[in-house]
Every structure is written in structure tokens, then in C-alpha cells.
Structure 1
């Protein structure tokens, strides 16, 4: 009897997690509809401009499948993905943490705003040139460029999440005897996530774009290096196939890692939604 009672909370938590995962998979139909719309517009562009300018989407998809049948293509895509994730993680550690701290300090927030404006105003190509001078053609060039591009976005997301929090919830928790650590973990961080996750989604896309751009310019392999080879051979179909592989890796990271974590941490949003309504 006691064993069954002790297992009940775990079974309930597992069923809830499975339910959220099933709802997440079901909502993927909307994303598939959006991708189908992109494919339809792509087909219209192919019929308008011809195969040399814009190959047919099915031909590019076939080229991508052919590339994925080669073991070296997985290594190329994996190298770009690892670089993008490394830069994104470091950008989250630098930008997210510093933005969280700045959100609690109005003076620090005012001090960092001009710095953020300068960092956002400098184009990624300029950072690539600088990192090439500092680190040469290496993995560090790609990773540091991604960090510099992603950190300001994550800083803004974390800082805005903290400054826009509902302070009355914090006062209520203090009145019920919750300590600073408990209030931070249960109220402060959760409210910050509502602004941080949209910024993290933008930073993820930026990380992959900047990583591919840096690889192309620094000739350090990865998808960017494969794009450079396709450019040399004027193979538009091959280039677009590598673009699809890069976008597929981005979607795998975003919808396979970021969105499930967001869905788990923002379970409280479901309580404010009517049955069956998904915003």
C-alpha cells in the first residue's frame, strides 16, 4: 500500500509530462502548414525565374537527402551545430546572467544601454573580421562571433523580464514568509522566462546564421565551407541543399530542446487558457 502511494506522484508527473509532450507534437501541424506555404511560394518563384536562379523545392530536397546519405555531410552539419550551440550557451551565460543582474539595478541598466546599442549596431561581418585577426581561422573565431551576436539579445530579454515582473507577487510571497532564494526561484526566474525565451529563440536563429557566415568567410569547414565550395562550382541546388540542412539543424535545436524546456517551465500558462484554446 505504501509503495503504491509513493509511486502515485511520480506516475502523475509522468502522465502530465507525456500529455504536454503529446500536445507539443500535435501543435507541430501548424508549423508544418507554414513550411508548406514556404514550399508553395518557392515553387512559384522556381516557375517564374527558372531552374538556374531558383531550383524546384523537390529537386533541392532530393539533393539534401542525397547529401545526408553521405557520412561526411553529417560531420559537416554537426560541426556547425556544435559551434552554434557553444556560442549560444556562452552568450546565454554572459548575456542572460548579466541581464538578470542589471534588471535588479536601475543604475546598471542605464549604464549598459549605450553599450548594447553599440554592440547591436556593429554588423556581424565586422566582428568576424576582428575575431579572424585575434584568433585566426579557427573554431574560436566562429564561437566568439556567435557569442557577441547572441549575448546582447539575451541580455535584453533577461533584463526586460526582470524589470517587467509583477512586484506584488514578490510582496505577497514575502508576507507568507518566503525567503529571498525561494522568491527568486519560484517568482523572479519564472517571470523572467516569459521575456527570455522569445529572445532565446531569436538568438538561436542568429547563432546559426552567424556561424554559417563566419565559416564561409574564414574557411573553417562546416556548412559555411560547403556553401563556399558550392559557390565556386556555381551549383545553386547544392547550395540550397546545404541551406536546408542548416535550417533543419536550427529547427531540431529550437523545437527539440528549447521549446520543450519552455513548455515545461511555463506550465502556469495553461491555467489561464480555455479548454482547447492554444494561443
Structure 2
């Protein structure tokens, strides 16, 4: 029986990842024969710890906390960053003032934002949200600004020729044209936000994956530390899968050769 073409293409796109994971698993399992369990626990121990995270409600809630913190903060950063990027793209003087500020924000290390948040805020949730916002807003804004500046001028002039209002030009020309850039920056910021959120949770939080990683370090539980790390990777894959579904839906009009 012939394998459907779509299934073959999907397998080819994922085969490299599968082979890499298998190779890493084999190398890790071999290392367990030469290293103590505290350094390199077996795959079975890691698997049990990972399964417990998704089965045990008391553990699963920590993964949910981190996932929601990332999602809510990213949505806020997206709204603010997109608004700033659109204004930068439509106004040269606003862009001249905002671009240096955004570049300055990008140059500040995430660890510095964490220190600032600890000093400025007492509420843990506010700290984590502030840190994620400060790290991700510049990327959203700069990417949207670049996408707006790259919109084909012929499309804008065509809309003007049809006497489209400013809002109509934004809704029918500008926004559809910058969708690919927005989707791309979401993928980048998603990984950044998850990494930053975990580090932020190490400072004062009593919930979340970062808190659990700190507990695993305190008792030298390497299997749990790896399991919590892998759970975050699975969350990242889940969110990226949603982004890919949205991309296929919004960009279904593009020729197949232009689709990711």
C-alpha cells in the first residue's frame, strides 16, 4: 500500500529530529555505565520522573503555572510590541526616538532585568511578567517595524487609488503583509520567554518549573532536573505546534513553495 505523499513529506521533515533524539538517548544511556547515577541517571529513571510530572497533579500544576506565565506575558508583549512597531513603521520621527531605546533594552542582559525586578517589585508574578515583557517587547517591535517598512509600496498606492481609509489600509494591506514576520518573531520569543521565565522563577517563586529545578538541585536529583527540563521542551513544542497551525491557516493563500 502506497504511503500518502503528505505523510512522507512530514516524516522527511521530522526524521532528522528523530535521529538526533535517538543518538542523544543512546549516548546518554552508554554514559550511565561509566558515570554514577547522581551525574548520569538512566533513561528509565528520567522517564519515570517525566511521567510523574504529567500524572501527579501536585507536580503538573507547576508546569501549568510556568506555561501560563509565558503565554500571558507573551500576549502582553505582543500587543505592546506590535503597537509600537506599527507606529514606528508609520512615523519616521517616532522611529528615530524609539529604535535607540529598543536597542538599548535588547542590550540589557536578562539577568540584569531579574535584579531590577527583585529590587522594584515584591509580587513574584509581577516580577516574572515584567522580566518577560522587557526581554520580548523589543524583538516584537523591531521585527514589526522592519516588516512594515518592507511592505510593497505598490500595494499601498493601489489601496490609496481606491480611496481606502487609513484603517482599511492597515486591515487589508499592511496587516496581511506582515503576518509572516509576526509568526516568525513569535517562534523566536517563545523560546526566549520560556528560558527567562524559568530563571525568574528561581528567585522567590514557590511555584513553577524554576522552583522545581531549584528543589531538584537541593537534593541532587539529576533525573528530576532533566525531567523538568524535558517537560519545558514539550511545552515549547506544543506552543510551536499551535503557531504552525495558525501559520498554515493564515498563510494558506501562499504558493506551496513559499510555505515553511
Instruction: Give the shorter-chain TM-score range.
Output: 0.7 to 0.9
- On the 8 A contact 1:139/1:220 being kept in 2, the answer is no
Aligned to 2:79: 93
- Count matched residues: 251
Cα distance in 2 for residues equivalent to 1:146 and 1:170: 34
Match of 1:41 in 2: 24
How has the CA–CA distance of structure 1 residues 202 and 278 changed in structure 2, closer, same or farther, with 3 Å as cutoff? closer
Match among 103, 107, 110 for residue 93 of structure 2: 107
Match of 2:3 in 1: none
Residue 131, structure 1, aligned to residue 117, structure 2: yes
The TM-score with structure 1 as length reference comes to 0.81
* Unaligned ranges ≥5, structure 1: 1-22
Q: Provide the TM-score with structure 2 as the length reference.
A: 0.87
Question: Residue 268 of structure 1 corresponds to which residue in structure 2?
Answer: 253
Mean alpha-carbon deviation: is it higher for 58-67 or for 164-173? 58-67
1:224 matches 2:210:
yes
Go from structure 1 to structure 2 and tell me whether the alpha carbon gap of 1:94 and 1:57 turns closer, same or farther (over 3 Å shift): farther
Distance 1:133 1:156 in 2: 28
Alpha-carbon shift at residue 60 of structure 1 (Å): 2.0
Partner SS state of residue 241, structure 1: helix
Q: Is the 8 A contact 2:99 2:142 kept in 1?
A: no
Greater CA drift, 158-167 or 56-65: 56-65
Name which of structure 1's ranges 88-97 and 169-178 shifts more when overlaid on structure 2.
169-178
Per-residue CA deviations over 1:164-223 (Å, capped at 9, x if unaligned) read 111111112322343332221121001112212111111111111111110012333200
2:80–2:137: 8 Å Cα contact kept in structure 1?
A: yes
Larger CA deviation: 233-242 vs 216-225: 216-225
Match of 1:188 in 2: 174
8 Å Cα contact 1:96-1:154 kept in structure 2: yes
Higher alpha-carbon deviation: 29-38 or 141-150:
29-38
* DSSP-derived class of the 1:168 partner: helix
Change (3 A) 1:187 1:56: farther
Aligned equivalent of 2:189, options 203, 215, 240: 203
The answer to whether 1:248 aligns with 2:231 is: no
Query: How far apart, in 1, do the equivalents of 2:58 and 2:130 lie?
Result: 25
Q: Which residue of 2 aligns with 1:6?
A: none
Summarize the Cα distance change of 1:43–1:112 in structure 2 as closer, same or farther, 3 Å threshold.
farther
1:233 aligns with 2:219: yes
Q: 1:56 to 1:142 in 2, by over 3 A?
A: same
Instruction: Provide, for residues 83-125 of structure 1, a one-character-per-residue CA deviation record: whole Å limited to 9, x for no partner.
Output: 1111101111111111111111122222222212211111111
Change (3 A) 1:142 1:36: farther
Contact 1:99 1:154 in 2 (8 A): yes
Instruction: Assess if the C-alpha contact under 8 Å between 1:39 and 1:57 holds in 2.
Output: no
